A = this chain, B = another copy of it.
Amino acid sequence: MALSGIRVVDLTRILAGPFCTLMLADMGAEVIKIESPDSGDPVRRQGAIKEGISWYFAQFNRNKKSVVLDLYTDEGKKTLTKLLSTADVLVDNYRPGVLTKMGFSEERLEEINPRLIQASVNGYGSSGPYVDRPSFDFIAQAMSGFMSVNGGPDSDPQRAAPPMSDLIAGLYCAFGVVTALQARERTGRGQRVESSLTGGLISMMAYLSAEYFATGEIPQRTGNYHPIVSPYGLFQASDGMVAVAPSTDTFVRRFLRALMLEYLLDDVRFQTNDDRMINRDVLADRINEVTSLRTVDYWIEVINDAGCPCGRVMDLAEVFSDPQVLSQNMVLDQVHPGHGTVRMTGFPVKLSRTPAKLRRPAPDLGADTEAILAALDDSD
């Protein structure tokens, strides 16, 4: 596998950090999840629990090992030190400074292992006025500008239900870790890698931030309307809604042709995108008159065949029974001994020669303590 031979010591819990180490584990790294003796990662007790295992925990901790260490004791710290001397990567998602207080400052870690990549996912960055604040996905969604543009024009600023800032920060950190591994091939040295919940989501503001920088105008919530493209959005079919996104004049023509409304482009109100923006509601009404005559299935086929991007608004039941989603192996089943078979989402990154694999189920708390510590002792 792509990351075979890479050992990751994983001091993370909940979500952002575990998502980072999940990316590494799925690609073949040996991820050793260090958990506290009492009860380990709190996610073990969150979400739906079936046959003694949280499916939420299982999804985010597949392909990992679990070692219980009490990092408040000298013995625990000594074992961690030994483990780090055998590792390539350390990932933590403590608040900045916590690891230093535990006796593992950047300098100390470099002493223990100069090749170690020290990765950290945090709320706001490891310096600056908010460095000591606790953070959380919802707060990062609020403070990144994301909520200010998410939702309709008449709604409050809305969070996204998925924990986007956690996941994006975790993914950025995984990218940073592999990039640092690549740098190490030349330099022989590790380094610090960081991403933050807030910084990660800010970097996703994309053209909204570019527009703000260029014009000074603050982007507003526009719901499913595109702020500068028309027609665009959800249209009414006889049995549901169809999402249509014609991004250029060519696509608009294909879309309207599929509806047998191409003649509208000869109407002075609809000739250019500017015209269509001014008369957006009138145009949407004309489109809805036609789309409402047939089913979602009908329009998906006809509009796609015309070469214009369109699709169904799918709930998760539809997503996970969709033939395309299944063809991409985005639903996986893994036997978890003692806990039955757990269903989870598949791998979003496909490599042809060294593909991601389900190698092992999410570990029971401390399942690998004995084996890992025995091997450490042997190597003394």
Contacts and interface: CB of A to CB of B under 8 A. Distances in A.
A245 B139 contact: yes
A243 B161 CA distance: 14
Interface residues of A, number: 154
A191 B354 contact: yes
Contact of A327 (B127, B202, B343): B127
Contact of A142 (B19, B136, B151, B312): B312
Interface string A178-219: 111111011101011111101110111111111111111011
A281 to B, nearest CB: 16
Given A182-B178, A214-B47, A304-B134, A322 B221 contact: no
Given A42-B248, A150-B150, A156-B234, A199 B304 contact: no
Given A232-B138, A325-B198, A55 B210 contact: yes
Nearest to A195: B349
Interface stretch (A66-74, A76-84, A166-174): A166-174
Given A155-B155, A193-B350, A353-B191, A48 B125 contact: no
B139 A219 contact: no
A283 interface: no
Contacts of A135: 309
A59 to B, nearest CB: 5
A187 B4 CA distance: 12
B351 A192 contact: yes
Interface string A137-152: 1111111111111111
Count of this chain's copies in the oligomeric assembly = 2
A319 interface: yes
A239 to B, nearest CB: 15
A323 B133 CA distance: 14
Given A142-B313, A199-B328, A59 B209 contact: yes
Interface string A1-38: 11111100000000100010001000100000000000
A237 to B, nearest CB: 13
A115 interface: no
Contacts of A204: 162, 164, 167
A298 interface: no
A379 interface: no
B182 A314 contact: no
Contacts of A137: 245
Interface in A295-318: 304, 307-318
B205 A162 contact: yes
Contacts of A50: 214
Given A136-B309, A312-B143, A343-B213, A179 B180 contact: no
A158 B314 contact: no
A159 B224 contact: yes
Contacts of A164: 164, 204
7 contacts: A5-B186, A147-B313, A161-B221, A180-B354, A183-B354, A193-B352, A209-B320
8 smallest CB-CB distances across A and B, nearest first, come from A128-B327, A48-B214, A136-B309, A142-B243, A192-B352, A191-B353, A2-B183, A138-B245
Given A202-B345, A209-B345, 12 more contacts: A2-B182, A48-B210, A133-B304, A136-B247, A138-B309, A140-B311, A147-B243, A149-B161, A151-B151, A152-B155, A163-B207, A199-B346
